[in-house]
Structure 1
């Protein structure tokens, strides 16, 4: 009897210690806890790079706008700049990446304060930035750079302890097998079996990504893509099963409902605190994700706009993924570098209120300035966007105690403050010329011992 009891206890312990296995259905997959590194990271850099970087005009959807919906502006651009009969495939040899130095990119991303980097391994055009075994002569090893761009950048960012994410488009606009499946009402899966899934498995096994940023899901249900089977393997048996993060673009109606964290849609910006981890992805060039030669300053996000978006996103529990598009040669143009370095400079002073922070019980206040709150280790951070004319910030939400201290990140010494029964906490800002202030916009107050 005792032996039986011991065996039962041992069996129960074995079950308790055995890693949990996920089944290929959303109920099971959605119950997987998100590895903590992602929420702590807060800020990442997105990189859109591919054959679309050669025409570098209009947008990264160049091929579709030219041949898919046949937009007159794109057709005129081709007529005026390229010989008759020039095909999209003819752009590929010009995608040289000649000046791509992955260590320089990684140094820039590190200086920007990015904790993760997401590279397009394959956009909707189908060209792969690694030697995909199922993309013959339409990959960066066979044509163009003759290099494994995914592998090279991965090695460089990981040297600097930056997490590495891979963007991957499920669909390819003009792939014959995808077009065949579409003609069959997506009742067949020729493209998924021959192309999409082999590539996803290859990317995971070859590069062990920390994050998979899926896209191109919108035309078909997740059952067409076999998404749940892939994710069950990813979470149970893949080499990255414990650390990998995925987004929510795995089939029609998955966005904002299923997957890991939620993107919901491009440039998603909720107005109140969501109940699920999310990410805002946006681009320095507001009109395109890829580099384009027709870019003008009017579409470039200003430094203060980017930082305000970052602050708002983190206060509302999100991550901020900021995109730049390199040139066909592998250069990141100075305006993109400048914007990334501006974020890094701001984070050097204010990163304490951003990295590994959590949303506070109140997320924002608006009076004479706009204030966004975060919290970490019982400390409350209040980042205000506009310097009040009277030099006094009033915060209604924090409740002070006899031990409360208030400082400004980047400056030494305590700030003086009073508690007003109607106005809340009235904080006297330092009377300094703007050039002496630690940052040019979005200043952070650090409040300890408040409720």
Structure 2
């Protein structure tokens, strides 16, 4: 019986191998090198999504002071303001680990979060699974007693939010830091000039594989890459598995932070740098990540209204980013209790309100042949036969002047949110003059950033 079973198993393996070989022509395999990995087409959903919400949440949300880099500024740099903050607010001998039990997430309601993100018009959400402090927001098997199941919330935060997000057909992305400031194995590898990989083998890679197999993310937002090359991180090996064999191989999207030599060069889409914003149309899909709080990604108790980006600033950035072919990922930082404070809610709801009127010019759009009318603060997008001109300033004379669109005998022009055709004419210099609706500000479809839809233009 044993011999028959072994022979049967070998035969089955040969059949599987033969089937795999015959399928090679139909299914391209990605080898663990950048030329092969970079040749993978980006799944369509990401470019169509355009707008996502970033969530920075972790033990750093407990001190909620300075920034999410609190531990590094306090102990890594020995920054005097951070030392004074600890001396004035916590007892002697208080360690960063002592913040862990205070990260309670007591009021965290994943369905409330998901409803808010849906109302904001977000098509994807990226949650911090582990920042540089090493605390994991899921029960990582290689982060004993420094994860959200063992300490603090005693909950699987990554899993709970993922379930709520996906119920609303929003894509789910996971932020993951490759490195950890004070992990002894990482410090050893660093001391060895990254010639050893104790930390990668014991911590980074087991966690990445666990996150993919457990939660099946649509996106992996890698970070913490800047101290070591991709070869140290085994990045190409992981991405080869991700693209070929993982449960999300056909739909998953990744960014470009896989080693200090990768940013803006290798990976899926490009982040290039925090708050990166190109001045002209890039030739590769990119994403601008920025934060409502201009000074921090994590929640700060001392944040004031003047520290936050206004609704008009955020929408202008969104419009500019999409016009230049990018996605816009806007960050908020919840409190240690799991609450999203009102100012963040207000900003997100304002974007959702604007997108309900103007989203046709944003979602699934493509850059037009011209991106910007510089004199008029007008940004262009396109979708099929339609060209959209989004203008950020209402002209004083009520007439929008555009140099770029060429009209035809079939030209039709409307403003999104107002279905009546708009009158238009040509200036002596052949500029297109669009006569805007004569309405009081309260009757306009948007408070700022209005969209003209043109068909039959070249």
Instruction: Choose which of 426, 429, 450 in structure 2 pairs with 1:443.
Output: 450
Match of 2:367 in 1: 359
Report the counterpart of residue 52 of structure 2 in structure 1.
44
**Equivalent position of 1:199 in the other structure:** 207
The corresponding residue for 1:238 is 246
Q: Distance in 2 between matches of 1:237 and 1:253?
A: 25
Q: Report the Cα distance in structure 2 between the residues aligned to 1:68 and 1:426, rounded to whole angstroms.
A: 59
Residue from 395, 405, 408 that aligns with 1:388:
395
Q: Return the offset for 1:16.
A: 6.5
Contact 1:395–1:423 (CA<8 Å) still a contact in 2? no
Match of 1:414 in 2: 421
SS state of the match for residue 166, structure 2?
helix
Corresponding residue number in structure 2 for 1:401: 408
User: Which of 311, 318, 342 is the equivalent residue of 1:310?
Assistant: 318
SS of 1:401 mapped into structure 2:
strand
Any idea what the Cα deviations from partners look like across 1:123-179, whole Å, max 9, x if unmatched? 000000000000000000000000000000000000000000000000000000000
Q: TM-score, normalised by structure 1?
A: 0.96
Match of 2:228 in 1: 220
The within-5 A match list for 1:85-100 is 85-100=93-108
1:99-125 C-alpha deviation (Å, 9 max, x unpaired): 000000000000000000000000000
The CA distance in 2 between the partners of 1:175 and 1:204, in whole Å, is: 23
Instruction: Say yes or no: does 1:71 pair with 2:79.
Output: yes
Structure 2 counterpart of 1:165: 173
Q: Deviations over 1:168-196 (max 9, x none)?
A: 00000000000010111111000000000
Mark the runs of 5 or more structure 2 residues left unpaired by the alignment. Answer: 1-17
- For residues 241-265 of structure 1, the C-alpha deviation after alignment (integer angstroms, 9 at most, x for no partner) is 0000000000012000000000000
Q: Deviations over 1:191-248 (max 9, x none)?
A: 0000000000000000000000000000000000000000000000000000000000
Question: Post-superposition shift, 1:17?
Answer: 5.0
For 1:371 and 1:342, the matched residues in 2 are separated by 21
Structure 1 residue matching 2:410: 3-state secondary structure: strand
Q: Name segments (4+ residues, structure 1) moved above 6 Å.
A: none
For these two proteins, the number of residue pairs brought into alignment is 441
- Post-superposition Cα deviations, 1:348-390, rounded to whole Å, max 9, x if no partner, equal 00000000000000000122x3000000011000000000000
Partner SS, residue 421 of structure 2 = coil
SS at match of 1:45: strand
* SS in structure 1 at match of 2:418: coil
* Equivalence for 1:6: none
Instruction: State the SS of the aligned residue for 1:341.
Output: helix
Q: Distance between the aligned counterparts of 1:449 and 1:15, measured in 2?
A: 45
- In structure 2, the CA distance between the partners of 1:74 and 1:423, relative to structure 1 (3 Å rule), is farther
SS, match of residue 276 in structure 2:
coil
| 1:421 shift after superposition | 4.8
Contact 1:400–1:419 (8 Å) recurs in 2: no
Give the root-mean-square deviation of aligned CA atoms.
1.3
TM (norm. structure 2) is: 0.95
Q: What is the Cα deviation at residue 15 of structure 1?
A: 4.8
